[in-house]
Amino acid sequence: MSFLGPFPVDDAIARLQKYAKSLKIVSGAAGLRAALDSQPNNNPAAYVLSEERGGKVKYSGPPIQQPVSVSLQVVLFVQSSANEKAGAGAEALMREVKKDVRHALLGWVAGPAFDELTFQGERSEPYKAGWYAVQVIFVCEYTMSHKAPE
């Protein structure tokens, strides 16, 4: 039996739509730059993207087996109110949004081939045009296995 991945980002988006009720938009993004360059139409919003990296082959088969590390990035956006210059309101809203995202994704298993998602970290992005953006990063692993056609 073959399993080649990739991580089901659409399932993570659906999970956030269901359980992170504070978010108004949850969508995918082709890359981090695309997510950061997009200013959402609604507040708060999230864009979800993933990155995968293969490890050393464990078993050269057949079938070949290779571990894959997944980094699931959830880029969150909240907007400050028009009369707010320092962004304190946006920071307070962001704390609540991050809690919702952690609630939805921490420990979630995307399917039988995947380990559970664990929290890796977060990083704030530069405050831009009234929008405060934070990346919340989760990780998991799975094993690709495949018997090459003869």
Backbone angles phi, psi at 145, to 5 degrees: -140, 140
User: Residues 61, 64, 70, CA angle at the centre, nearest 5°?
Assistant: 155
Residue 96 has pLDDT above 80, yes or no: yes
Q: 57 vs 3, 21, 145, CA distance in Å?
A: 14, 40, 10
Q: What percent of the chain has pLDDT over 90?
A: 59
Tell me if 100 is assigned to some domain.
yes
Amino acid 12: pLDDT:
97
Determine the pLDDT at residue 87: 65
Which residues form the domain of 79? 9-146
Residue 49 and residue 71 in contact, taking contact as beta carbons nearer than 8 Å: no
Question: What pLDDT digit, counting tens, does each position of 33-88 carry?
Answer: 777 777 788 889 999 999 999 999 987 778 889 999 999 999 999 987 766 665 67
Place of tokens 């992170």: 20
The percent of residues in the chain predicted with pLDDT above 70, rounded, is: 94
Q: Is the pLDDT of residue 109 over 80?
A: yes
Spell out where the chain has E strands. 25-28, 45-54, 59-60, 64-79, 118-124, 131-146
98: pLDDT strictly greater than 70: yes
Does residue 2 register a pLDDT over 80? yes
pTM of the model: 0.89
Number of domains in the chain: 1
CATH number at residue 13: 3.30.2000.10
The verdict on residue 137 lying in a domain is yes
Residue 82 CA to residue 44 CA, distance in Å, equals 15
- Specify if 67 maps to a domain: yes
Question: Residue 1 domain-assigned?
Answer: no
The first and second tokens of residue 9, run together, are 């980002």
In this prediction, residue 128 carries a pLDDT of 74
Helices (H) and strands (E) in the chain — how many of each?
3, 6
| Residue recorded with tokens 């952690």 | 102
